[in-house]
Structure 1
């Protein structure tokens, strides 16, 4: 059996075994016992910072609350212990905020190495966050982080402690890349500052995430040198796949798609929420109807639900071109990863390029092909940009026969093997000079009203 196949097999066996051994929920001295009932409602007090000291008085990464419980898979408690932390971080607009992360200790690790695993839960509903799924919540959108036990199990088997942040924050700011990044970096800070996790200042970290998790991974790697140099100094590298780079391109790419067009209203809602702008005033009556239906939806609700949906159908006639909406242009430029700094640690970037299999039947001029939702030309351009701006330790894999759904099967074991090598101190390979050309990642420009 090959290493990649064996890794996947181990993950399936471990994740399956976790669900077969119910265990009582434990609690530490800082918080009341958490149960599947108390931990699964938005009213759960653990998620609210209620201290008398202003949140702004705490440094990013400060631990505000702690609780210990059993790791749940689809609502079933397992023997695996999880430590959840409420910590101080920074939102998309640079304001102090509180967020939750989960630390899962390896049974064979010593606390010296950990992986920050960023989930691809992609939701506009805070109830779908990985911390809630781990605490026992069962929801349609929450099935995604439940399924990701298949990715987390092999990390634990190999001796890595795993940190799993709620990357979207407590408002579910879908696709707000900079906030994903700060939530991830401050999660690492919190995990190493808590006396309950077994992690500390000497723990080295790798970043890992696919799709929505790649948004968080990519932004965390890019922001770390300036936002969290203390974390950056302990990063061994970042491994990401199915990456969102320039969201304005992705909206054009999925426009009219049979499968992925539901991402259009999700992105509109996420941008509006993250930056507190009113985009409803530009929507048609049909657009407002779709907006209302998906305002608290997950990607599981949106996929395939609106086949053939376009921006034009959602907008008033005079706003048929999304670039005619100035607030939208300003927001998508803020979440363009191509405008962020170059990471200073090694990176593995992977991208599928068989999107036609998932319903993308045309490629808009200047956009090119992709995996059905992510644009391969954008990802290549980002990798080349990193190489050109000082990071020669960039590897790029393009899976021309795999779509967004198929690529993780190859990416996950590859990413794990790549991270193993970085923790072992082996020199990072480089594809710089061999990565094909990609798209322009220049900021979007406002367009006149039609």
Structure 2
């Protein structure tokens, strides 16, 4: 008992150090990033055997490193794993994940944490930041580690995957989900993780991390049934349901409008399509600037930007671009099967606080980037399919909702490792928006 308490106190000091160093070193990190760092070869698969020969989740290589902040090592131990996974187009790729080892010896409780690093640069992945990477776009990884303090102090292992894959396929939901599931497969198979045989897992993520969490929970029964049997539940907040509607929602937003060109780049890259013929001269300029942009460089940088300004006049309606319509509809969660595990789903409703209008016809209120009515409809659909859902709405914006969502989601997920049945408020969730696909113009 004394030893365990001492370890927890030590961990609190370590995590406090991480937060302090992040704040003190942030200006230096921005300056250091002006000179591109040499990519760490660990994250690249260079074996002679084709990746397609390996099963999804197969461990390709591992290493144990200290959790590092800008090259400053901390006492937290991390097992990094390169593993085989599948991208948006069904191709075999090498993914990477970081397992923050449990603090109290072997554990049977694992958290698959979905990072919201939201970037078009592979070097912004959380595994790079954990290994001491200097990119400012990856700094969110350190803040996210502190968000998971409760799990670490209770002896859980954290599995934090670079969910966007090796080419940073921003917003490619199915790829996020497969990478998340394969990262858990790899973590359960690898040695040196501190994860006990037969361990169970919970999923959690906010915003971009919710993309990973929801798609992983939805895909698990068919893509990774062995993992699905181990899942106790999935907690998410700030949920992307129907991207075609979200693009309309953020159109002209003071803060979030820059996500539109980010999504154009991400969709083009992940699906292997070319949307540049539809872009205006200005749109092409923004498209070129976005190729490695993290969301931290985009938010508020394009106030009032609209779809119409990015495209040629003939394509002012996105529904007039057939390849865009067919592609974006593949990312509509409302057209996909339901998960089979309990869900905690939280969503903000005061997007006006972040410069996004809540009066767009057919969309209604949201948190500035995610749409509350779409999230309600998704939750109700899951309820109708027998999923136990606890749905919460908060009168806050996307960034501020985290303060209320996180403690509730953390407590709910910890309880799912016990024997008590998951609570549900399915009968009181108000109707939302139709989750219809985008219709061609």
Q: Aligning the two structures, in what range does the TM-score lie when normalised by the shorter sequence?
A: over 0.9
Shift of 1:81: 0.8
Residue of structure 2 in register with 1:275 after alignment: 271
Q: Deviations over 1:224-258 (max 9, x none)?
A: 00000000000000000000000011000000000
Pick from 182, 185, 189 the counterpart of residue 186 of structure 1: 182
Segment drifting more, 41-50 vs 224-233: 41-50
Structure 1's 192 and 271: CA in aligned 2 closer, same or farther, altered over 3 A?
Answer: same
Residue of structure 2 in register with 1:361 after alignment: 357
1:74/1:138 contact within 8 Å kept: yes
Residue of structure 2 in register with 1:172 after alignment: 168
Pick from 249, 255, 262 the counterpart of residue 259 of structure 1: 255
Segment drifting more, 412-421 vs 310-319: 412-421
**Alignment partner of 2:140: what SS?**
helix
Shift of 1:363: 2.6
Shift of 1:72: 1.8
**Alignment partner of 2:198: what SS?**
coil
1:73 aligns with 2:63: no
Q: Which has the higher helix share?
A: 2
Give unpaired runs (5+ residues) of structure 1: 1-8, 22-35
2:433 and 2:215 mapped to 1: Cα distance? 19
**Alignment partner of 2:427: what SS?**
coil
Structure 1's 221 and 11: CA in aligned 2 closer, same or farther, altered over 3 A?
Answer: farther
- After TM superposition, the structure 1 = structure 2 runs for residues 41-120 of structure 1, keeping only pairs within 5 Å, are 41=37, 43-108=39-104, 110-120=106-116
Question: How high is the TM-score relative to the length of structure 2?
Answer: 0.92
Shift of 1:123: 0.3
1:248/1:332 contact within 8 Å kept: yes
2:351/2:358 contact within 8 Å kept: no
Shift of 1:74: 4.5
**Alignment partner of 1:446: what SS?**
coil
2:241 and 2:197 mapped to 1: Cα distance? 31
2:79/2:98 contact within 8 Å kept: yes
Structure 1's 333 and 200: CA in aligned 2 closer, same or farther, altered over 3 A?
Answer: farther
- After TM superposition, the structure 1 = structure 2 runs for residues 188-207 of structure 1, keeping only pairs within 5 Å, are 188-207=184-203
2:233/2:342 contact within 8 Å kept: yes
Residue of structure 1 in register with 2:436 after alignment: 442
Give unpaired runs (5+ residues) of structure 2: 1-8, 22-31
2:295 and 2:17 mapped to 1: Cα distance? 28
Structure 1's 55 and 158: CA in aligned 2 closer, same or farther, altered over 3 A?
Answer: same
2:351/2:369 contact within 8 Å kept: yes
- After TM superposition, the structure 1 = structure 2 runs for residues 186-335 of structure 1, keeping only pairs within 5 Å, are 186-335=182-331
Residue of structure 2 in register with 1:432 after alignment: 426
Structure 1's 20 and 302: CA in aligned 2 closer, same or farther, altered over 3 A?
Answer: closer
1:408 aligns with 2:437: no
2:69/2:133 contact within 8 Å kept: no
Shift of 1:140: 1.9
Question: How high is the TM-score relative to the length of structure 1?
Answer: 0.90
Shift of 1:14: 5.1
2:240 and 2:380 mapped to 1: Cα distance? 15
1:313 and 1:20 mapped to 2: Cα distance? 41
1:104 and 1:364 mapped to 2: Cα distance? 43
**Alignment partner of 2:81: what SS?**
strand
- After TM superposition, the structure 1 = structure 2 runs for residues 14-33 of structure 1, keeping only pairs within 5 Å, are 15-18=15-18
Q: Deviations over 1:279-331 (max 9, x none)?
A: 01100000011111111101001000000000000000000001111111111
**Alignment partner of 1:233: what SS?**
helix
Structure 1's 140 and 12: CA in aligned 2 closer, same or farther, altered over 3 A?
Answer: farther
Shift of 1:43: 3.5
1:287 and 1:135 mapped to 2: Cα distance? 35
Q: In the comparison of the two structures, how many residue pairs are matched? A: 421
1:433 and 1:82 mapped to 2: Cα distance? 43
Residue of structure 2 in register with 1:395 after alignment: 390
1:11/1:154 contact within 8 Å kept: no
Shift of 1:44: 2.2
1:126 aligns with 2:127: no
**Alignment partner of 1:141: what SS?**
helix
2:320 and 2:10 mapped to 1: Cα distance? 51
1:360 and 1:172 mapped to 2: Cα distance? 26
